[in-house]
Structure 1
């Protein structure tokens, strides 16, 4: 489960995403340098080998620890992509193939614009297929993917069903875990309506509607996909022209009408908290990207639950958000995600601790994000302030064991 939104206004593109994964599934933020003249013929994605390219762009990726690809990311040219699991009538039930996250990384490494990203995604989709086993623990969990792609000049939504796809240029759009495209799209697979009819997904009557042809009902309903998308669409339709970092962070922290009563959450919240067998997904990382002519700027949590987390500035410059980033060979226990997990779990069951944590965060975060308006942010100071904040709350969290319900206790031991 996930939620992604894109907003274009005043010549700037914004992309924001919550990555919802299984509870207690680590996710780390990595930065990979540009590559020129690589002689490798192939590269191993999560499950399959794909043809490698000699030249690749520098990327920042939010990556589940066991996966080659990424839930979301940005490259040095200002292309940002977020993806969603969608459960279509054509989703493969077995076999090894690319994950939507693998497709996302391939596009960020090989494309400089959103339109180029669509070309990479659809080419790789046709060559290698999708819907490999996508769960951290649940290896029966398979899905197709939808994507939001944005660069400084435009944004696109791309949705897939098996190897079929459709894409539309958009200005304000949100996606969740159900298809969102209908009768209108700008690009598509060759003879998309004919292929849908041949596969028994459309009867040929009336106008062809992508979501009605390929979407399923049960998992989007259980996951509250339509309600979560509606929350983000409501934000997009009402946000002011001056909307920026603070407003987008608030959108990713949205609990709807259930507020902070986590026991009453029901998968219909953008900021998602796991809690039982029918609510196994947890927001495990969040990212906001501002894409403009002067280059990409980012803010990320690299931690679970944005409502409890600190959005910290991040960039491609040397030392920009270094404390957020994990090296490829770094032990997982040293990652920002893992170090914060004691804070997250203490806050789940201790309302007083959670409220103090949020109040402290709300004092620091605006000061950090203000630096993203400067040509040259003071990266060392930003890192030191964020480190001090995290160290303080980690020490407090570890001083007392968290009070977790039985379901969470079991997840924490896995």
Structure 2
């Protein structure tokens, strides 16, 4: 489950997305250079191969470790795309393109938002969408909606099987979540029951309000960290903390965790801000530039089991400590977290420098929480679920001896 939003400000376009996935599904940042391709070659997407384009644009992507496609990303021409799982009355087809594949294909082949949408709908009609959307739950699949933006504006693209509809964003803001929203198309194809379980209307109400008033990246950082009526997550046994944009896993019907977050500032220099880690509330947004690749050692090998070489998994040591008592734990480092980001937004550092500073800060926060050993205040059923995810990831439990 996810949320994507765009703000059309007086100064230009801002974009943001949380990617909500399985709790142990590491998400990696990858850079891909522009390239020319010989006629007749193909590209292997997640489940199928399709003909390659003669030229692909440079991109930076945030993608689940096991997928070819991406949850969100940007290209060298200032196009950004995010996708949402949507639940429709149309049947699910055989393995084909995933929505995440369409995100990457739109970025690789589109010079503008309109170009990218044309690429995506053409490929959708030609190849269809289908196949498992989860490495942890192979039977889980869905259709997709997309928010596609460039420095001139944004377009919503919603799909149901091979059917689709578009809407140009008129402003001042627009958000999408896990339900169809385009008038007429939604009435005809939305699965309302599954949308209610996903709490998409509750989250979209909050992201829509945030999109309409945002004027800079810091506003969108805050929007993606929103826990709803309370400053820290509140949990339902049905769907965890899924009623607000900053999702935390825990539901018995659906258990989804924000595993990556992205903000794009398409004004002027066009700087992207990504966590490269789960839970934006416990992460630091780092500046990215499409033309300045920054490989992080170990991240290319990140997977579904804990690996100290992976920055995503190193952050999980902090994230899962914070979850024991989110309010008390986050209060110990929130001021420094916000000071770092405010300084960087004013004068963005090089990406490698930012990652190094963020890693050092998170290491301090983790050591402080380990020393504090705060009691685990979560309900027993929620602690049990996280213990199970820890065990499946091959990592030590985050439950405290003082619980």
TM-score bracket, normalised by the shorter chain, equals 0.7 to 0.9
Distance, in Å, in 2 between the alignment partners of 1:48 and 1:68 is 10
1:107 aligned onto 2:79: no
For 1:354-394, what per-residue CA distance to the aligned partner results, in whole angstroms no more than 9, with x for missing partners? 3213233122221122224xxxx455643442232133234
Equivalent in the alignment of 2:208: 233
Q: Between Structure 1 and Structure 2, how many residues are aligned?
A: 376
**Aligned-pair CA distance for 1:13:** 1.1
Distance, in Å, in 2 between the alignment partners of 1:346 and 1:80 is 33
| 8 A contact 1:78–1:295 mirrored in 2 | no
Change over 3 Å in CA distance of 1:106–1:302 after alignment to 2: same
Aligned pairs for 1:334-373 within 5 A: 334-351=309-326, 352-372=328-348
Which 5+ residue runs of structure 1 have no aligned equivalent? 183-208
Distance, in Å, in 2 between the alignment partners of 1:387 and 1:266 is 26
**Secondary structure of the structure 2 residue equivalent to 1:307:** helix
**Secondary structure of the structure 2 residue equivalent to 1:262:** coil
For 1:44-85, what per-residue CA distance to the aligned partner results, in whole angstroms no more than 9, with x for missing partners? 111111111231111111100111100000001100000001
Aligned pairs for 1:4-403 within 5 A: 4-38=4-38, 41-92=41-92, 94-170=93-169, 171=171, 172-182=173-183, 209-237=184-212, 239=213, 243-263=215-235, 266-292=241-267, 294-318=268-292, 322=294, 325=296, 329-330=300-301, 332=303, 333=307, 334-351=309-326, 352-372=328-348, 377-379=349-351, 381-396=353-368, 403=376
**Aligned-pair CA distance for 1:263:** 3.4
User: Could you tell me which of 390, 395, 399 is aligned with 1:412?
Assistant: 390
Which 5+ residue runs of structure 2 have no aligned equivalent? 377-381, 393-403
| 8 A contact 1:253–1:271 mirrored in 2 | yes
TM-score normalised by the chain length of structure 1: 0.85
For 1:210-250, what per-residue CA distance to the aligned partner results, in whole angstroms no more than 9, with x for missing partners? 1010001111101100111111112233x16xx10111111
Change over 3 Å in CA distance of 1:175–1:348 after alignment to 2: same
**Secondary structure of the structure 2 residue equivalent to 1:284:** strand
**Aligned-pair CA distance for 1:317:** 4.0
Change over 3 Å in CA distance of 1:39–1:328 after alignment to 2: farther
Change over 3 Å in CA distance of 1:388–1:138 after alignment to 2: same
Distance, in Å, in 2 between the alignment partners of 1:308 and 1:58 is 30
Instruction: Name whichever of 124-133 and 393-402 sits farther off.
Output: 393-402
Distance, in Å, in 1 between the alignment partners of 2:364 and 2:203 is 33
Distance, in Å, in 2 between the alignment partners of 1:173 and 1:118 is 17
TM-score normalised by the chain length of structure 2: 0.87
Distance, in Å, in 2 between the alignment partners of 1:348 and 1:397 is 11
Distance, in Å, in 2 between the alignment partners of 1:410 and 1:120 is 41
